[in-house]
A = this chain, B = another copy of it.
Amino acid sequence: MDQAIFENGVKEVQLLPAYDDEHEGVVVEMDTLMDSNDFNVILRYSLSQWKLQGKKGVWLKLPIELVNLVEVAVKEGFLYHHAEPHYLMLVYWIPDTLSTIPANATHRVRIGAIIMNDKRELLVVQEKYGCFKGTGIWKIPTGIVEEGEDIFSGVIREVKEETGIDAEFLDVVAFRQTHKYFFGKSELFFLCMLRPLSFDIQKQDSEIEAVQWMPIVEYASQSFAKDSIFKYVNDICLAKVDKHYTGFTQLPITSFFNDKVSYLYVNKHDLNM
């Protein structure tokens, strides 16, 4: 390991433990407590070495327990990249050329569940919090897809949590991309069609004010703009009742590089599957 002698109390300076990434950069994942002055010396030395080696991006992951090192890193020129509750990722771009540091996650993923019973009734809720609070509007159940959760699983979970209804995922019938939705971030909202497997409502008290099966005509009679998503939920409902609307259904696919399975959503009908 590279070493150097410094005069300010630190006898031997090693490079920070780092591994190479696929883009000619290095990744440092700090995991032991360190005095911020010691860290400063080692960080400076490491950066100088990486510069000589022609490295590009330097990633620095600091667990929240090492919050004392954040200020040092920023003063050496690091910028924030992203954060999760218990860590902060910083990044330093060494070359004089334009940074090709990849962007942070930009989108939250939310789902909405269109569930009809065979009486042409739609499962709808009124929410206790958020924008629709107090508007009297009945809307389809919606929720945030959790980290690592598939869309087709998330929508089933949210419906069960909010309404007590068990349901089967059919397809994604539409999606909406909205910008500057929260903290300047964007949102992808997937409208999913589900088939109910149970019908007795059990309301979640913490977030939901009311739940009911509502005739589609009644849902459609609420006062929405003609170009609102509510109008399209209604149109798609009716097209689905008439069995002539095809959305995207999930197919398991494997990665080119490993055995990891992920899901591709396609128009299976048009692929004759």
A interface, CB within 8 angstroms of B: 22-23, 64, 67-68, 70-71, 74-75, 79-89, 100, 102-109, 129-133, 137, 144-148, 150-151, 173-180, 182-186, 188, 206, 224-225, 227-230, 232, 235-236, 239, 244-248, 251-257, 260, 262-267, 270-271
Closest to A240 in B: B270
Closest to A273 in B: B235
Q: Is the CB of A71 within 8 A of B67?
A: yes
Closest to A139 in B: B256
Q: Please measure, in the bound complex, the distance between the C-alpha atom of A248 and the C-alpha atom of B175, giving whole angstroms.
A: 9
A267: B residues at CB distance < 8 A: 173-174, 245-247, 267
Q: Is the CB of B271 within 8 A of A253?
A: no
A100: B residues at CB distance < 8 A: 206
Q: Please measure, in the bound complex, the distance between the C-alpha atom of A216 and the C-alpha atom of B48, giving whole angstroms.
A: 49
A224: B residues at CB distance < 8 A: 256
Closest to A231 in B: B253
Q: Please measure, in the bound complex, the distance between the C-alpha atom of A179 and the C-alpha atom of B16, giving whole angstroms.
A: 29
Closest to A185 in B: B105
Known: A109-B106, A228-B256, A236-B271. A173 touches B88 (CB 8 A): no
Known: A228-B256, A253-B229, A264-B232. A64 touches B71 (CB 8 A): no
Q: Is the CB of A80 within 8 A of B87?
A: yes
A74: B residues at CB distance < 8 A: 64, 67
* 6 extra A-B contacts, CB within 8 A, seeds A22-B129, A67-B74, A81-B85: A64-B79, A67-B71, A82-B83, A106-B107, A131-B256, A232-B253
